Structure 1
Amino acid sequence: MGRYFIAGSWNDWRPEEMMLEDEAVGRFTIKASLPKGKQRFQILRNRDWRQLIYPETRYADCEDDVPVKGPDASGYDSYWSIEVMASRNVFFIDLELWPEAALAAREDERKARPAVSKMKVSWRSVGRQELSQQELFENARPSFFLVGSWDCWLRRTKMRFDGLRQSYVGRAPRALRGGDLFQILSNGDWNSILHPSVHEAGLENTAASRGAGTRAYPAWRMDKDEVVEEETSARRRASDRFEVVLNIRSTPWRVSWQKSSSDELDDSSDEDLDPELYGPPGADGL
């Protein structure tokens, strides 16, 4: 059956495990306090971004009765969408895995409308919880996430807001060897991609355009020769990282990058790679 995790706009797309509530019907659930507005999410099996569970259509509501797809890596740009009111912001989100016998029984019950999937995702509002002023402030601010070829475009790395530079700053999650491609996702959404006008753009092409829906959009290319000065050491330190800066005060927005050593920044400025994020891929079926 595996383990199931939810990743959404309210938790910076960091997978949180759903609890097995009813083993007989394969129901997993999680309780979450959500900020006001449209909140989007996907479900991962075994904490693996290559095993996404997602709706067949983008931004589906649980009332739409759309087929549930996965687990696979194809639906990276398809999400469920919850409209959250400030007065009813506490939700239970459920995933049901229907065995074949249960599917047959449901088909008999529905008669005119057979079950369309082995899985069902639903949610229900159960009350209200006050969010702190800091939570409200953070949720009101736009968010941006780095994605890149360094991990096959699987993981979002959140960019922090730098008040001094009035820019968003993110660090690649591992030491780069040059030639890595990257884009920026607005609010972590693959349907709102910031990208250059030409593919494999360097520091001479920093203007950001906005596209949607595919990883095939042009990407910036981060070559070490562009950003790393010659060093006396025979090899670079393994702790070196590259810092990407999104300047939203310019028109159009500008993207640049530079070398930044990990011991020059405090821990709050870095996004550490979660060693459990990629697996192991589930061997068990649904």
Structure 2
Amino acid sequence: QVIGDHSYWSFEDMSADPTESGLYRATIQLLKETSNFQIFRDRDWEQGMYPKAAEGGAEAAVGGPDGLGHGRNWQITGKVGDHYNIEFRRRSTGNLDEKSVTWEFHKSGEADFVELSKSHRYFLIGSSTGFETEQEMERDLESGHFSTRVVIGQSNKEEFQILLNSNWLAAVHPNICDATMNDDGHTLQGPDDAGDGMYWVIGQEAKDQDQVVPGTHFMVHLEMGTRSR
């Protein structure tokens, strides 16, 4: 399977070539100008293939299959909406295990983010549950926005981020650690695999101390634009 930015880091099957053993193909559509991807076997996180060099090109040696490839991705650079063909080859003979990944431009296109978003579900996950229990956000059918209620725990603050389809590799997160609603210049990132340690915080600022106490309820809103992701 191939997994990456093009699929919001969900597994997509590759097709085995009927005439060449060990050759697998997939066609993807870019949703970002720089699109990262990896290849996995049997949807198993411990059987990933990845470039041994971070941000590798087609010339990079292929690592795996193992679970050590987090953050080591192949990168395709193109226009949003472009389609690319990806090929993965593996030949194992005796002590040799030869693997290669290549890709080429297939055709131009338009990415329909509105259509893609129709099947999306978003889940808030936060510190009040030790980042273990996800809370599904409710979609407003008129606006397409998502929201959910957060209850402040005993720490007097709540750290959180938002996961697309419950996938930690498709996190919606701030571009800085411990961002607040009032941080000047902080931007929303994702869904992507770069959310590790990047959380919004309710109760971080001094002016919140009188309002943010255990049991206080806050509403968290995720507003979707016309190029909804």
TM value normalised by structure 2:
0.55
Distance 1:118 1:171, change over 3 A: closer
Alignment check: 8 A CA contact 2:55 2:72 kept:
yes
Q: Residue 163 of structure 1 aligns with which residue?
A: 145
Of residues 12-21 and 33-42 in structure 1, the stretch that sits farther from structure 2 once superposed is: 33-42
Query: How many angstroms apart in 2 are the aligned matches of 1:123 and 1:42?
Result: 12
Amino acid at match of 2:54: R
Query: How many angstroms apart in 2 are the aligned matches of 1:146 and 1:54?
Result: 28
Q: Residue 114 of structure 2 aligns with which residue?
A: 134
Amino acid at match of 2:93: E
Give the helix-richer structure, 1 or 2.
Answer: 1
Distance 1:165 1:68, change over 3 A: same
Aligned positions of 1:31-42 closer than 5 A? 31-42=27-38
Aligned positions of 1:1-286 closer than 5 A? 5-22=1-18, 24-62=20-58, 65-85=59-79, 89-100=82-93, 118-132=98-112, 134=114, 150=132, 163=145, 169-170=162-163, 186-195=189-198, 205=204, 245=220
Unaligned 5+ segments in structure 1 are 104-116, 152-156, 174-182, 207-225, 228-243, 249-286
Alignment check: 8 A CA contact 1:89 1:129 kept:
yes
Alignment check: 8 A CA contact 1:159 1:170 kept:
no
Distance 1:169 1:56, change over 3 A: closer
Query: How many angstroms apart in 1 are the aligned matches of 2:45 and 2:104?
Result: 25
TM value normalised by structure 1:
0.46
Distance 1:15 1:22, change over 3 A: same
Q: Secondary structure at the match of 2:68?
A: coil
Per the TM alignment, residue 68 of structure 1 is displaced from its structure 2 partner at its CA by 0.6
- Superposition RMSD on alpha carbons, in Å? 4.6
Query: How many angstroms apart in 1 are the aligned matches of 2:27 and 2:163?
Result: 30
Query: How many angstroms apart in 1 are the aligned matches of 2:222 and 2:113?
Result: 26
Query: How many angstroms apart in 2 are the aligned matches of 1:128 and 1:205?
Result: 46
Query: How many angstroms apart in 1 are the aligned matches of 2:88 and 2:165?
Result: 33
Per the TM alignment, residue 92 of structure 1 is displaced from its structure 2 partner at its CA by 1.0
Aligned residue-pair number? 171
Distance 1:196 1:90, change over 3 A: closer
Q: Secondary structure at the match of 2:17?
A: strand
Unaligned 5+ segments in structure 2 are 149-159, 174-188, 206-213, 224-229
Query: How many angstroms apart in 1 are the aligned matches of 2:33 and 2:147?
Result: 29
Alignment check: 8 A CA contact 2:4 2:38 kept:
yes
Amino acid at match of 2:196: I
Query: How many angstroms apart in 2 are the aligned matches of 1:171 and 1:38?
Result: 20
Q: Secondary structure at the match of 1:134?
A: helix
Q: Secondary structure at the match of 1:195?
A: coil
Alignment check: 8 A CA contact 1:169 1:245 kept:
no
Amino acid at match of 1:120: S
Give the strand-richer structure, 1 or 2.
Answer: 2
Distance 1:164 1:245, change over 3 A: closer
Runs of 4 or more off by more than 4 Å in structure 1? 143-151, 157-162, 164-173, 183-186, 188-192, 202-206, 244-248
Distance 1:164 1:123, change over 3 A: closer
Distance 1:20 1:164, change over 3 A: closer
Distance 1:164 1:118, change over 3 A: closer
Per the TM alignment, residue 100 of structure 1 is displaced from its structure 2 partner at its CA by 2.6
